[in-house]
Structure formats: structure tokens, C-alpha cells
Amino acid sequence: MKVLKNEKHQGYSPVLSQISDNQIHGDYKESFFIGIEGSNDTPFCRANIWPNPDVLSGWQATMEKYHQEALRVCKAIARVLALALNVDGDYFDTPEMLGNPLTFMRLLHYEGMSDPSKGIYGCGPHSDFGMMTLLGTDSVMGLQICKDRDVKPRKWEYILSIKGAYIVNIGDLLERWSNGIFKSTLHRVLGNGQDRYSIAFFLQPSHDCIVECLPTCQSENNPPKYPAIKCSTYLTQRYQDSQVDLSIYKK
């Protein structure tokens, strides 16, 4: 499974290779990243790296099916979110918005014991960058959320995993779109010494989508809090900020 990752972060990432905002150590997790297939010069798209089918037969097809179904679920949730924001249910269903979404999937394995006082985490505190994340977890506790990131000291609450249910995290681009009506969820993962496995499916708008405050989320007394930004510009910046120098793994 340890197919080396490439510069576009596809494939396997070892423990300590990813770092969240304001963290000293990397995360105590290993992961396998599956992005969208594309030609090498398309930003955010690249041929995925798959394990040898002789070793894991049928794995690629299973992952591709999961990817397709997770996208279907996210698009259905996007319709509910649109109605909640007082725009048409199909508001996000345009080619510019969710027509060619930048969807990424990360299969995660956590290990070891976290110690937040020493900055040691399974996954350090962060919010996801995109529109929303569909998270499937096993029954090992670990995920915590902070409902109000501005209250200090921060209060962290465990999220129980419910068999057969997904956790949906609001991402930063949806916070921008909704002018802060939907707040992106600050979350982290603590290791408790047990192995923990999860699958995160990240939904991000189309590459050239301009994410700007929805007409229904602003008024004279409530002007847009964030400037309009192109999805790819925003994501490039956020991904660059969260990666440890990849060159150390290219031996």
C-alpha cells in the first residue's frame, strides 16, 4: 500500500507528513489520497496511484464506486443547504458551481496516543477547506469538534460515531458563500492508543467557481464578510499551507 505520494499529494502519505494550522508536530496518521483523474497539466487533477491489483484485487473499482456514491450524497445535501439559505434547491447544481467538483477522498489510519498539551494529535485542529466533507468512521472514538472557535480556552466535544450514519462537516468555502450563516466546523482527532480508521470525502466546487456571498445572505446591515475568490486560488493557498516539505520522502 505504501505507493509513494507525488507532488499533487495523490497516493500514500506517511505519519507526520501533514500538518494543520499552528501545529508543531505533524499528524499521527497515515493516509491514502484519491483525487480526480485528469491529465498531468490540469491543476488538482492527476492520474491516481493505485495499489497493484494482484495485491488488492477489486480495490480500485470499490473506491471509484464509493467516490461516485459519496458525490451523489453530497449533491443531495447541497440541495437541502441551498433551501436553508433561501435560494433555489438546484442553486449549486450549475456547471460553474458543482458541475465539475474538485472531489478528494482520504482513507485514514490513526495510531498512538495524542497529547494536546504537547501538540501531539492524530489530526491537529483545523477546518476543512471546501464546501462540505462526508466522513465515515469506525467505532473508535477520536473525532472532536469545537462549537465556538472564538471562545478561549477552546471547549472540545467528542462526536459519537453512529453505525450506518455519516458525519457531515461544513467547510470554509461554504462559510464564505453563506456569509458565516453556516460556520465551518473546527475539528481535530485524538488518538487513544487504538487503531482508528476513517474515510473523508471532500466536496469542493468546480475549479473556476467564484465563491462569493449569496444574494440571500447579505443586506445593507450585513454586507459580505469575505471577498469573492476563485475556488482554485483559495484551495492552492490552503493546501500549500498544510503540507510538510514533500522532498524528504523522495529518497
Ligand X SMILES: O=C(O)CCC(=O)C(=O)O
Site of interaction with Fe ion (CB under 5 A): 128
Nearer to Fe ion, 128 or 213 (CB): 128
Radius of gyration of the chain (CA): 18
81, 143, 145, 209: which one contacts ligand X (CB under 6 A)? 143
**Phi first, then psi: what are they for 102, rounded to 5°?**
-90, 95
Binding flag, residue 108, ligand X (CB under 6 A): yes
| Residues from 112 through 131 that contact ligand X (CB under 6 A) | 123, 128
| Closer CB to Fe ion, 187 or 207, in the complex | 187
CB of 93 to ligand X, least distance (A): 25
Position 200 contacts ligand X (CB under 6 A): yes
- Cβ neighbors of 86 (< 8 A, separation 6 or more) are 216
Element (H, E) at 70: helix 59-84
When the beta carbons of 92 and 201 are compared against ligand X, the nearer one is 201
d(CA 121, CA 20): 10
Instruction: Answer yes or no whether residue 137 interacts with ligand X by CB under 6 A.
Output: yes
Name the DSSP class of 98.
I
Report the alpha-carbon angle 113-118-123, nearest 5: 55
Partner from ligand X, Fe ion, none contacting 106, C-beta within 5 to 8 A by type:
ligand X
* Grid coordinates belonging to 23: 501545529
Closest CA to 182 of 113, 240, 127, 223: 127
- Between strands 101-110 and 29-34, the pairing is antiparallel
CB of 210 to ligand X, least distance (A): 24
Q: Which entry of Fe ion, ligand X, none binds 134, CB below 5 to 8 A by partner kind?
A: none
**Binding of ligand X by 203 (CB under 6 A):** no
Query: Comparing C-alpha atoms, which of 173, 182, 184, 180 is closest to residue 97?
Result: 173
Residue the block writes with cell 482554485: 232
Q: Is 145 in the site for ligand X (CB under 6 A)?
A: no
User: Which range of residues in 46-54, 112-120, 135-143, 233-241 is near ligand X by CB under 6 A?
Assistant: 135-143
The residue sitting closest to ligand X, measured at its beta carbon, is: 198
Q: Which residues bind ligand X (CB under 6 A)?
A: 106, 108, 123, 128, 135, 137, 143, 187, 189, 198, 200
